[in-house]
């Protein structure tokens, strides 16, 4: 559940539905097996780990176009090198995998974007929210195309871990990855992170004791990391052997942070009215020495008037469109059956690949 100034998002999982939209250009060949993955209330990485065991396929063999929201109902493409021993349909309590077809090669241009069906609840001021929606439809305002806050993890420190990996500081990356606990995390996760911290003695780590810890479900990625670390007892080698899709997640978070900060600073310095969506990095003071090169919060800044983005330095954009361009299919307001005296917004819209619903919702519900 996400509480905004003007409403609540993700109150129920069926309030947030996202479907990947693809255009397949050829069905020739048999090099890759392509699947439709439907999931609800679970992370993509958790599903991949479970599928790896079910299909007896290495985690590194699973590929996807984009990670989808955990707390939502989602539909997306998953693909692997050709599987000759697969089940056509795998059904679990929180995901479903359906084999669609096999193809010669996968083209990333297949994926054109995502369609969203979202219900926002507990809205009191319909006029203000609808005014912003109409401004978007009439192209009277431009929304900055920030990278999604989820990219920085629940602790909002993925970019800092990425910074240390990019600078070959593997101990620092490991220490933060395993031990830095946040107020945003489940109490079981925080407890385990505190235990892991006590197993560090300088830059040495008691991996044998760590393997004895019963890890909660929410720490699946840490489990894999510790298993690899137990084989070589070397932080650098462990990160090199860690599945690339997870290592790159941290590195990409750092570049995403730089992009977001450039865009936010540009808006702040443009002498226009704006509002800020703040995400505080709530980790204990004992970790602050490793965070000293970064601000203690992530800020996403949204202009309240039309702003010219053409003066933004191209070197800061890294070939990414700085503007969000939502295509709104339809929307309507109704009385909210769950919150007496309030309204709900049902809205259906499309965003091109690489754009996030977070920005759209931050804008229409913030201010």
- Residue 93 sits in a domain whose CATH number is 3.30.70.3160
- How many domains does the chain contain in total? 2
Using alpha carbons only, what angle is made at residue 151 by residues 300 and 17, rounded to the nearest 5 degrees?
Answer: 95
260 falls within a domain: no
Q: Is 317 among the domain residues?
A: no
Looking at residue 121, its pLDDT comes to: 97
pLDDT digits (tens, 9 = 90+) for 113-135: 999 999 999 999 999 999 999 99
User: Are 163 and 237 members of one domain?
Assistant: yes
Q: Taking the CA atoms of the chain, what radius of gyration do you get in angstroms? A: 22
Structural domain including 35 reads 26-106
- For the chain, how long is the longest CA-to-CA vector? 61
According to DSSP, the residues that pair with 26 across neighbouring strands are none
Contact 179, 196 (CB under 8 A): yes
Same domain? For 162 and 228 the reply is: yes
End-of-domain residue from the set 106, 140, 171 = 106
User: How far is C-alpha 155 from the chain's CA centre?
Assistant: 12
In a domain, 367, yes or no: no
Is the per-residue pLDDT at 20 higher than 70?
Answer: yes
Predicted TM-score (pTM) above 0.85? yes
In a domain, 148, yes or no: no
| Main-chain dihedrals φ then ψ at residue 104, nearest 5 degrees | -70, -50
* Confidence (pLDDT) at 349: 97
3-state secondary structure 265-324: HHHHCCCCCEEEEEEECCCCHHHHHHCCCCCCEEEEEEECCCCCCCCCCHHHHCCCCCEE
What is the average per-residue pLDDT within 316-344?
Answer: 91
**Domain assignment present for 218:** yes
The answer to whether residues 173 and 90 belong to one domain is no
Tell me whether residue 7 is in a domain: no
pLDDT for res 284: 92
Domain end position, chosen among 106, 125, 149:
106
pLDDT tens profile 126-174? 999 999 999 999 999 989 999 999 899 999 999 999 999 999 999 999 9
Same structural domain, 32 and 101: yes
> Which tops the pLDDT comparison, 110 or 161?
161
- Are both 162 and 244 inside the same structural domain? yes
pLDDT tens digits along 77-107: 999 998 876 667 899 999 999 999 989 888 8
Q: Look at residue 317 in the predicted model and tell me its pLDDT.
A: 66
Residue where a domain stops, chosen among 231, 249, 267: 249
Specify the pLDDT at position 1: 86
Least confident of 66-75, 186-195, 327-336: 66-75
- Among the listed residues 78, 90, 81, the one whose alpha carbon sits nearest the alpha carbon of residue 54: 90
Residue 46 counted as domain residue: yes
* CA nearest to 7, candidates 154, 132, 114, 137: 132
Q: Are 101 and 167 in a shared domain?
A: no
The pLDDT mean for the chain works out to 91
pLDDT for the residue 85: 67
Instruction: Decide if 93 is inside a domain.
Output: yes
Q: Are 323 and 266 in contact (CB under 8 A)?
A: no
Q: Which CATH number is 201's domain given?
A: 1.10.1510
Query: 103, 39 in Cβ contact below 8 A?
Result: no
Average pLDDT over residues 336-350: 97
Residues 99 and 166 in one domain: no
pLDDT, position 87: 67
């Amino acid at each position: 559940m996400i509480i905004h100034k003007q409403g609540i998002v993700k109150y129920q999982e069926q309030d947030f539905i996202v479907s990947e939209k693809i255009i397949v250009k050829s069905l020739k060949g048999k090099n890759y097996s392509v699947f439709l993955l439907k999931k609800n209330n679970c992370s993509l990485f958790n599903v991949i780990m479970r599928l790896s065991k079910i299909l007896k396929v290495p985690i590194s063999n699973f590929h996807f176009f984009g990670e989808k929201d955990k707390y939502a109902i989602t539909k997306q493409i998953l693909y692997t090198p050709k599987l000759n021993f697969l089940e056509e349909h795998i059904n679990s309590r929180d995901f479903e995998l359906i084999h669609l077809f096999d193809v010669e090669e996968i083209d990333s241009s297949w994926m054109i974007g995502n369609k969203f069906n979202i219900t926002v609840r507990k809205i009191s001021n319909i006029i203000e929210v609808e005014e912003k929606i109409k401004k978007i439809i009439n192209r009277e305002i431009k929304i900055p195309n920030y990278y999604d806050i989820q990219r920085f993890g629940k602790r909002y420190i993925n970019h800092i871990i990425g910074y240390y990996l990019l600078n070959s500081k593997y101990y620092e990356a490991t220490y933060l990855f395993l031990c830095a606990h946040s107020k945003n995390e489940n109490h079981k996760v925080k407890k385990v992170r505190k235990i892991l911290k006590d197993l560090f003695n300088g830059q040495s780590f008691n991996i044998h004791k760590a393997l004895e810890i019963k890890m909660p479900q929410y720490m699946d990625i840490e489990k894999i990391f510790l298993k690899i670390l137990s084989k070589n007892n070397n932080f650098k080698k462990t990160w090199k052997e860690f599945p690339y899709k997870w290592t790159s997640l941290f590195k990409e978070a750092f570049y995403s942070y730089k992009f977001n900060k450039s865009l936010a600073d540009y808006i702040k310095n443009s002498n226009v009215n704006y509002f800020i969506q703040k995400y505080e990095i709530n980790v204990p003071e004992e970790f602050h020495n490793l965070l000293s090169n970064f601000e203690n919060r992530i800020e996403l800044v949204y202009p309240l008037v039309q702003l010219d983005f053409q003066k933004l330095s191209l070197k800061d954009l890294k070939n990414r469109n700085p503007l969000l361009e939502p295509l709104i299919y339809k929307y309507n307001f109704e009385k909210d059956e769950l919150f007496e005296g309030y309204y709900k917004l049902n809205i259906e819209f499309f965003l091109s690949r690489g754009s996030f619903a977070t920005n759209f919702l931050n804008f229409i519900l913030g201010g």
